[in-house]
């Protein structure tokens, strides 16, 4: 179960400063996707530090076959729902497909998400986003940059494939990470990259990193809530673990996720990828 000591640490709302200090102190933090007030309340009780209002809602809530149909209005609605149920967690919200194709559009849409209740916005892409990240940062909007497998580009990638395999591909992700941090990105999220690359990147950048299928070495770990509760419509990804087992209820499942991330027993080697 989740320790009393950790619960006391979440007595105050989690901020970006909290997450930066956790990186310095080498204390792992947790993140789950969430889309409504009720599950947000349970996540707060379990001690989840960060909540991602993901455009994954297109698939797990709306029944779409990808994240691409999700709109900025959808994201604002679900962000506001999460905000109303939240007391302690830091809320990240995805900017959906084609809502940040140029810096001005990104600023307008990011403002809507922040007004809806987000603490930070998340964008998918590499160095081409630097100008946008810089503009948002200058206007006081915290940014999480998502690298590696970026689901909004799934058709460009030709499917959901591991990224950063091989030295050239790994070097590119590293350079893009450094470019985005220099532009003002406050958090980097890596999806489906080799475990050793996740370690290299986390050590190379000054900001907190979050991984999903990126190995145990990132500063934080995120999973789609439905996946970690075993609610899958098909074969779950390799990096997923079902925590709603052994007689646990939902709160227990969230607490087990927290415990295993803190203890660095999740993700285990079998949840990761080789270079």
CA angle 219, 4, 223 (to 5 degrees): 35
4 is in an annotated binding site: no
55 is in an annotated binding site: yes
For the question of residue 45 being annotated catalytic, the response is no
**Contacting residues for 168 by C-beta, under 8 A, at least 6 apart:** none
Query: Catalytic pick from 49, 176, 191, 260?
Result: 191
Check: CB of residue 180 under 8 Å from CB of residue 127.
yes
d(CA 191, CA 151): 9
Q: Residues for the chain: how many in total?
A: 275
Provide DSSP, 117-157. T-SEEEEE-SGGGHHHHHHHHHTT--EEEEEES-GGGHHHH
CA angle 43, 49, 54 (to 5 degrees): 70
Check: CB of residue 242 under 8 Å from CB of residue 226.
no
152-187: burial string, b at 16+ Cβ within 10 Å, e else: beeeeeeeeebbbbeeebbebbbebbbbbbebbbbb
- Alpha-carbon distance values, 99 to 35, 73, 74, 189, 230 (Å): 19, 11, 12, 19, 31
124 is in an annotated binding site: yes
Binding site: which residues? 55-56, 94, 122, 124
Binding site for 3-methyl-2-oxobutanoate: which residues? 55-56, 94, 122
- Tell me which residues are annotated as active site: 191
Binding site for Mg(2+): which residues? 55, 94, 124
């Amino acid at each position: 179960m989740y320790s009393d000591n950790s619960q006391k640490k979440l007595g105050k709302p989690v901020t970006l400063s909290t997450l930066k200090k956790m990186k310095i102190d080498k204390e792992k933090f947790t993140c789950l996707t969430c889309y409504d007030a009720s599950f947000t309340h349970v996540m707060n009780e379990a001690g989840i530090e960060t909540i991602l209002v993901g455009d994954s809602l297109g698939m797990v809530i709306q029944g779409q076959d990808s994240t691409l149909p999700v709109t900025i209005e959808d994201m604002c609605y679900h962000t506001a729902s999460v905000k109303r149920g939240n007391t302690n967690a830091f809320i990240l919200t995805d900017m959906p497909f084609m809502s940040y194709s140029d810096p001005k559009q990104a600023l307008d849409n990011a403002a809507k998400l922040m007004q809806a209740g987000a603490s930070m916005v998340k964008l998918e892409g590499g160095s081409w986003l630097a100008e946008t990240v810089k503009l948002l940062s200058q206007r006081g909007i915290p940014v999480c940059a998502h690298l590696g497998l970026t689901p909004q580009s799934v058709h460009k990638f030709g499917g959901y494939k591991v990224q950063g395999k091989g030295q050239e591909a790994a070097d590119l992700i590293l350079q893009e990470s450094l470019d985005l941090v220099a532009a003002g990105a406050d958090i980097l999220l890596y999806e489906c990259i080799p475990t050793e690359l996740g370690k290299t990147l986390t050590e190379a950048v000054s900001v907190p990193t979050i991984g999903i299928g990126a190995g145990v070495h990132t500063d934080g770990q995120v999973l789609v809530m439905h996946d970690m509760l075993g609610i899958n419509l098909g074969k779950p990804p390799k990096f997923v673990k079902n925590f709603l087992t052994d007689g646990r209820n939902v709160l227990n499942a969230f607490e087990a996720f927290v415990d295993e991330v803190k203890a660095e027993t999740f993700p285990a080697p079998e949840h990761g990828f080789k270079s």
